[in-house]
Copies of this chain bind each other. A is one copy, B any other.
Amino acid sequence: MKTYLECISCFFKQALEAGRMAGADDKTQKKILDEVARAIPDIKLSSTPPEMGKTIHDIVKKITGQKDPYKALKEKATEQTLEIYPELRKQVDSSDDKLLMAVELAIAGNIIDYGTKNSLNVEKELNKILQKEQRVIEKEKESIFDFKSFKNALSDAKSILYIGDNVGETVFDSILLEQIKKIDKHKKIVYAVREKPIINDALKEDAIEAGIDNFAEIISSGSEVPGTIIPLCSKSFVDIFKKSDMVISKGQGNYETLSEEKRATFFLFMAKCPVIANHAYCEVGDFILLCNYPSSYEKN
């Protein structure tokens, strides 16, 4: 997905939040915004928003000297989501369609995103998720919630690449991975994370803390942006991306960078801004489960 002109104001919001997260004082925050402003004329609108995301967060890291401004918040996110893990499991176990419930929760977990949602109160948001009536599941909107194709693809896939997104969300992912393994324990799942700290995106250690290693092999995609830009990923990751029977991509950043790749991918995310909603023909807040090449998985 290209960068829209609407994204530019959002870049400044993100830079300000990241600067504050890094403990910058007012003067330093202004310095960060000035530096972002200087980078604006060089933006290629044909590039994806996460590329500019990296530029912004590199500026914040350079000016504040903080290599991982979201570290404390990431630790809290894992802790908080692990606390509610038993309840999440219970919801799945008591559900008529366990796979569907696990998919819904995996998407709900995508609410934990500091890149697009400023000043997020994780605790409050997670409580909302646990209140069933608050989750707007779009089962009837088949165009944006294509569970049928997803289920078809899963039943056939022997090898699955699952591209993770944010810390905390990883705990929700582990619940879906467990359900996938229950379909067939011999399915080989690879769970990909970012190479270096960027916003609150998950790294290897975050995936391990969330228990992902019980169900999948954890690898780095080589990506240093808050998304997955194939030409900038490691060769070994790209091989897996190409050869896996099924690819599951979590979150908005991965959607923004992978939606136009020429391989069938299932995108699971919450639509968090009007630009993405417009691009995916949905509303802000919608739960999205869509495949860029759904016909690959059509069955009767």
Contact = CB atoms under 8 A, between A and B. Distances in A.
Interface of A: 5-6, 8-13, 16, 26, 29-30, 33-34, 37-38, 40-41, 45
Contacts of A33: 5, 8, 40
Nearest to A29: B5
Given A33-B40, A34-B40, A16 B26 contact: no
B9 A13 contact: yes
A9 B13 CA distance: 6
| Chain A interface main SS type | helix
Contacts of A5: 16, 26, 29-30, 33
Nearest to A33: B8
A64 to B, nearest CB: 15
Contacts of A12: 8-9, 12
Nearest to A42: B34
A37 B34 CA distance: 8
A34 B30 contact: no
Which of A10, A30, A40 has the most B CB atoms < 10 Å from its CB? A40
Across the A-B interface, the 3 shortest Cβ-Cβ residue pairs: A37-B40, A9-B12, A34-B41
A13 B37 CA distance: 14
Contacts of A6: 13, 16
A16 to B, nearest CB: 6
